[in-house]
Amino acid sequence: MAGSRSTKLETEKRVFTIQGWIISGVPDYLILKNCEQQFDVKRRQAKNLLKKAYESWHKEEESSIAQKRALRIAELKQDARSLKESYKGTPQGLAVINRIKKEINKLEGLYPDRVTVLKGDKESPLILTNSTDSEEREKRIAQLVAKALKK
């Protein structure tokens, strides 16, 4: 296929494959080498494909927090699946899997928010929650400020 242009669909498939390699933690120089061997392209074209893979992620960086969270969860699940079978059964392997699961649970919001009580007024202490939802936090802060201004 050297010397002929690839279709847009073929280029997108190649970029997707390269993104998978990036997620798996393959170094860039090995990605370039794999591109040359698998896709039968020159080094210059392999660099262009790698650049496109990174650029498409930069576009996604502007996406919402929910999409970023979903991408990170998928990456963590892939990390758990890619552990060596011989390592999975060991105590260290189980500890790694548990840490990955715990991180996934944090990202999914399965743990309750931490609550901090700042005592100042005995009747109505200031209560802060560490929530990931910034809109909810802003509303709560506005309520507390309004309450403080009334006094």
CA 26 to chain centre: 17
Predicted confidence (pLDDT) per residue in 91-132, tens digit: 999 999 999 999 999 888 887 767 666 777 767 766 666 655
pLDDT digits (tens, 9 = 90+) for 37-61: 999 999 999 999 999 998 887 766 5
Distance (Å, whole) CA 44 – CA 59: 23
DSSP type of residue 39: S
pLDDT > 70? residue 27: yes
Kindly state the DSSP code that residue 112 receives in the 8-state scheme: P
Q: What pTM was computed for the model?
A: 0.43
- Residue 1 confidence (pLDDT): 47
Which amino acid is residue 111, in one-letter code? Y
